[in-house]
Amino acid sequence: MKAAIYLRVSTKDQSVNSQRADTERVAKARGYETVIFEDHTSGAKFSRQALDKMMAGVRRREFEAVICFKLDRLGRSLPHLAQLIGELDSCGVGLIVCGQGIDTTDSNPAARLQMHVLMAVAEFERSMISDRTLAGLEAARGRGVKLGRPKGSKGIPDQRRTLAMKILTESPKLSCSKLARAAGVSVGTAHKWKKEHMQIVELT
């Protein structure tokens, strides 16, 4: 049996040694052969080199389980966590969070309940963000603020703008160049969407 161990600290100056010791002890007790993935970056980032590489292995069904010390090592955003957990589940890969007593590898009802509660909370958070965004748009229109697609952007799919707004909600300080790459649009379009997002936030 093979398991992926995911370790993360926020900066290069921090050590993952304590996480490594705890996760490796659990893996050894379960008889797992392990592959370690280690990131030194913020958990607020959706895309992380080691995490992305691990999830690619998950999709290829290379692991029976993913082991981490705490859920916030995987991500600090509830929607992102729900996305990752849902993908693990759809690929038949269990999740062991050794520092929080979560283990979905043996169909433990309590662990499954924890996962579903987490996903439900994430869905509620997304719904609240959507409601606030719509309220902000209405308030902005009421004040005569011109919002919507930039002039000449008729061919840009709606889902790209929606994706950009979601990214900005999670990472409002993201640079326009990074937002443009993530949403697949020009830097100019990303700049206009970021400005629009700021107007919505100010009105909510």
Catalytic residues: 10
Rounded to whole angstroms, the Cα distance separating 193 from 122 reads 24
Cβ neighbours of residue 23 under 8 Å, at least 6 residues apart?
Answer: 5, 7, 67, 68, 69, 98
Task: Retrieve residue 135's tokens.
Answer: 């309220």
Cβ neighbours of residue 12 under 8 Å, at least 6 residues apart?
Answer: 40
**CB of 90 closer than 8 Å to CB of 26:** no
Rounded to whole angstroms, the Cα distance separating 178 from 14 reads 25
DSSP state of 150: P
Cβ neighbours of residue 30 under 8 Å, at least 6 residues apart?
Answer: 1, 3, 65, 96
Tell me which amino acid residue 156 is: I
SS3 string, 173-190, reads: CCCHHHHHHHHCCCHHHH
